Amino acid sequence: MIKASIIGATGYVGIELIRILAGHPAVTLVHLVSQSFEGQKIGEAYPHLAARCETLEGMNFEKIGGDSDVIFTALPHGASAETIQKLAPYGKKIIDLSADFRYDDVATYEAWYKVKHPAPELMRQAVYGLPELHRAEIQKCQIVGNPGCYTTCSILGLAPAVQKGFIDPDSIIIDAKSGVTGAGRKPSTDLHFSEVNESFKAYGVGTHRHTSEIEQEISKLAGKPVVLSFSPHLIPIQRGILATIYAKLTGEIAHGDFVRLYQEFYKDEPFVQIEEKGLPQIKYVRGTNLCRIGFVVDPRTNRVVIVSVIDNLVKGAAGQAVENMNLLFGLPETAGLDNSPWYL
């Protein structure tokens, strides 16, 4: 059995990791670390897990590094890199769910996150953990930078069209909506029920940090630097992301051409599904590691509209982290993740 530890176990991503790994056929949980709930049973922090007996622990680098085969870090940016800097010498596999190891260029990270990276040498060794694009590199690395939720949804929606040249990459506009869990569990006035319910707002327009992450990966696919517009929105649901992506077509390209291109590009990908007709909804993926993608080609404006949906806590975070763990240990990629969506 693979011995797994989770640092930051009581945030929304951490608790989703526990839910998924508890049902994984090849994993046993050995350390669950939580500064806020140290010494308590996991069922005291989350009563729905009352049947589990694990006690939440404080940080002990020697114990965690010695006992674990894989360590998931679900901490804020900056703090995550400092923690991993101390764990990396133990040689264990590390999957980081912060932004600290997602970037190829330290300067880009520091410019967007406004902090100095504490471990740039480790950052350069890490692999961006989007399996559909970087599977071979992930299988050979020690540190995986698990992608952001908006970025996963947006990149998967764009990748085939950008690589094949179906769209002008300089024309890309991404209009994305996320459920409230995307903001994490830390209390905030603007996330109170009465602030969010029956409302819908844009935030971080032109400045959201995930913009740079999307641009990094889309630039690789385009073979040139790409600057795009990304506008995130908060919607009053718990979980899920829907990205509506607009781009100019580069020729007379029909709806069927997009369907065939995407089906071919993702033919061996267990978690990407293409809509032949219609557009996907968040209900189609909730609780799963799936990404579903659909299209509308608008010849009047010479644009394509791509709609991509994921569950932000699963394919956008914990599920993709488990998918990466499966790759690191040579397991079937779907292990622990092959479940149907929660439609209701």
Show which residues are catalytic.
Answer: 149
- Helices first, then strands: H and E counts in the chain: 12, 13
Q: What angle do CA 334, 336, 337 make, to 5 degrees?
A: 55
- 245 CB-near residues (< 8 Å, 6+ apart): 154, 157, 158, 172, 173, 174, 175, 305, 306, 307, 308
Q: Are 159 and 306 in contact (CB under 8 A)?
A: no
HEC profile for 252-273?
A: CCCHHHHHHHHHHHCCCCCCEE
How far, in Å, CA of 186 to CA of 1, rounded?
33
DSSP letters, 38-77, are: TTSBHHHHSGGGTT--PBPB---HHHHHHH-SEEEE---T
% helix / strand / coil in the chain, to the nearest 5? Answer: 40, 20, 40
Q: Are 200 and 236 in contact (CB under 8 A)?
A: yes
Among 228, 98, 106, 99, CA closest to 158: 228
Query: The sheet that has 127-128: what strands, in order across it?
Result: 27-33, 2-7, 70-73, 93-96, 143-145, 127-128
Which residue do the tokens 């092959």 mark?
Answer: 338
β-strand 173-178 against 229-234: which pairing, if any?
Answer: parallel
Which runs of consecutive H residues, i.e. helices, occur in 165-234?
193-196, 210-222
Q: Are 280 and 343 in contact (CB under 8 A)?
A: no
